[in-house]
């Protein structure tokens, strides 16, 4: 099956045995009748398994070319489950330009539990080697990164990791499996905030993991069941529905993203535009190799450079909504320094480029003319 067909049918071969419903039913139940103690049809209690969740988990695994999928109540709950694989004394190398919530989870929850983190720029994959010790257990990468759109060479990182017996997990939220499939490039775990492109309609919060290795899956399944951060069946259904149009939406996100990036770059009021599709983006060649398009996410700074200049723009936008999150059909604008990345200390933030005038756009699937007109009137 090819990718576009997979979004609709992947992992969903089994039709509903009761009535043949084309979409998997929402099994809104906590428990399942047993004919005799232990005599059940594969489901006992909805924390350990629910058929609607299974349908979504199979779809996620299929899209990422993995063998096993796991769905969680949020993207962060999925990351939390990955980190629970480790023990005090273990070390994790993470990209230094990452989702603010991931940084907060790492430093405020798991550091306290005795896990040591090294935050490292990963644009040069070889730099990672300097931080690997006998205690290193995981490399956490996010590419394209949030919000600087840095690109990490997944294949190069996994090559280094394998040499040292270290696992690699990739946050694939920004690219979605339509543009990039990290397991094919050697990663062990793919993580998604399905809240974003997979769900695609800004109406659900949900997370996912996909792996190939059975033992790793069993460990993660145990954590999912033992810690209990599962999504409800209705939310699983919404993500399944979103996935069916992932390819159509992503195609338009890419087209509109490119048009907006080029418009901003030619605008005299704009300083930097961060978008991996530009020839002179530092890792453009890697992006071209490991992604099939450049997506709808980009960031830019104003020439004026002040917090005020960015605030004025985001307040004036009419079609772009000022809001956190990304990946929905509607265009959103965000101000990372005061919104998504406010939990990262200012000094740390600025080191990675998250300056006060940085604005992040999630370019939606509206008519491009309307989006460009909106930006024009807001920037002035």
Ligand X SMILES: *Cc1c(COP(=O)(O)O)cnc(C)c1O
Are the C-beta atoms of 331 and 361 separated by less than 8 Å?
yes
Residues that bind ligand X (CB under 6 A): 74-76, 99, 101-102, 142, 146, 171, 173-174, 193, 195-196, 205, 207
- Map residue 221 onto helix, strand or coil: helix
| Least spacing, CB of residue 210 vs ligand X, in Å | 15
Residue 159 CA to residue 154 CA, distance in Å, equals 9
Does residue 196 have an active-site annotation? yes
User: Could you tell me the smallest distance in angstroms from the CB atom of residue 211 to ligand X?
Assistant: 17
Estimate the share of the chain in helix, then strand, then coil, as percent rounded to the nearest 5: 40, 15, 45
Enumerate the H helices of 164-302 as residue ranges: 176-179, 214-227, 233-243, 246-265, 284-290
**C-alpha separations of 157 from 29, 129, 174, 190 in Å:** 42, 9, 18, 14
Nearer to ligand X, 132 or 296 (CB): 296
**Residue 47 falls in the annotated catalytic set:** yes
Whole-number Å distance between alpha carbons of 7 and 9: 6
Beta carbon of residue 74, minimum distance to ligand X (angstroms, whole number): 3
Helix (H, G, I), strand (E, B) or coil at 193: strand
- Return the number of the residue (75 or 293) whose C-beta is nearest ligand X: 75
Report the DSSP beta bridge partners of residue 334.
Answer: 360
Closer residue to ligand X in complex, CB, 132/170: 170
CB 309 within 8 A of CB 375: no
Q: How many CA atoms lie within 13 A of 122 on its CB side?
A: 32
Which of 27, 99, 103, 217 is an active site residue?
99
Least separation, in Å, of the C-beta of 71 and ligand X?
11
| CB of residue 256 to ligand X, shortest distance in Å | 19
Structure tokens at 94: 């993470």
Q: Which is nearer to ligand X, 243 or 378 (CB)?
A: 243
Shortest separation between residue 176's beta carbon and ligand X, angstroms: 11
Q: What is the H or E stretch that residue 144 is in?
A: none
Residue closest to 172 by CA, chosen among 73, 101, 99: 99
Long-range contacts, 158-161 (Cβ 8 Å, 24+): 158/185, 158/186, 158/187, 158/188, 159/125, 159/186, 160/125, 160/126, 160/128, 160/129, 160/132, 161/128
Can you list the positions of beta strands (E) in the chain? Answer: 68-72, 91-95, 116-120, 136-142, 167-171, 189-193, 207-211, 270-274, 297-302, 321-322, 332-334, 359-362
Q: Give the nearer residue to ligand X in terms of CB position, either 11 or 328.
A: 328
- Which of 97, 153, 171, 188 is catalytic? The answer is 171
Q: How far is the CB of 348 from ligand X (least distance, A)?
A: 17
Which CB, 195 or 290, lies closer to ligand X? 195
- Of 106 and 378, which CB lies nearer to ligand X in the complex structure? 106
Question: Active-site positions?
Answer: 47, 99, 171, 196
């Amino acid at each position: 099956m090819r990718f576009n067909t997979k979004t609709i049918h992947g992992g969903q071969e089994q039709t509903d045995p009761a009535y043949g419903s084309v979409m998997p039913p929402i099994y809104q139940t906590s428990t399942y009748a047993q004919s005799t103690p232990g005599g059940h049809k594969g489901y006992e209690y909805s924390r350990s398994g629910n058929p609607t969740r299974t349908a979504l988990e199979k779809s996620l695994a299929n899209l990422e070319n993995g063998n096993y999928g796991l769905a969680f109540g949020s993207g962060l709950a999925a990351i939390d489950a990955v980190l629970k694989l480790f023990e005090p004394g273990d070390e994790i190398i993470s990209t230094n330009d990452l989702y603010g919530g991931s940084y907060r989870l790492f430093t405020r929850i798991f550091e306290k539990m005795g896990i040591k983190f090294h935050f490292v720029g990963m644009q040069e994959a070889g730099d990672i080697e300097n931080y690997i010790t006998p205690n290193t257990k995981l490399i956490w990468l996010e590419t394209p990164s949030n919000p600087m759109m840095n690109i990490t060479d997944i294949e190069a990182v996994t090559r280094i990791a394998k040499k040292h017996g270290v696992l690699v997990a990739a946050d694939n939220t920004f690219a979605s499996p339509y543009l990039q499939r990290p397991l094919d490039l050697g990663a062990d775990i793919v993580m998604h905030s399905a809240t974003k492109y997979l769900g695609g309609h800004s109406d659900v919060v949900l997370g996912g993991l996909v792996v190939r290795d059975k033992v790793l899956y069993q460990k993660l399944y145990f954590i999912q069941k033992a810690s209990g951060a599962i999504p409800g069946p209705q939310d699983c259904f919404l993500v399944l529905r979103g996935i069916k149009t992932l390819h159509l939406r992503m195609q338009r996100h890419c087209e509109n993203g490119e048009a907006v990036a080029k418009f901003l770059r030619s605008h005299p009021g704009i300083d930097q535009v961060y978008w991996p599709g530009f020839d002179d983006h530092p890792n453009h060649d890697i992006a071209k190799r490991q992604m099939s398009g450049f997506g709808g996410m980009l960031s830019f700074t104003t020439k004026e450079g002040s917090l005020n200049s960015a605030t004025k723009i985001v307040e004036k936008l009419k079609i772009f909504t000022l809001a956190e999150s990304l990946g929905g059909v509607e265009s959103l604008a965000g101000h990372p320094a005061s919104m998504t990345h406010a939990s990262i200390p200012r000094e740390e933030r600025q080191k990675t480029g998250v300056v006060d005038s940085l604005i992040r756009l999630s370019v939606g699937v509206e008519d491009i003319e309307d989006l460009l007109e909106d930006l024009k009137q807001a920037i002035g």
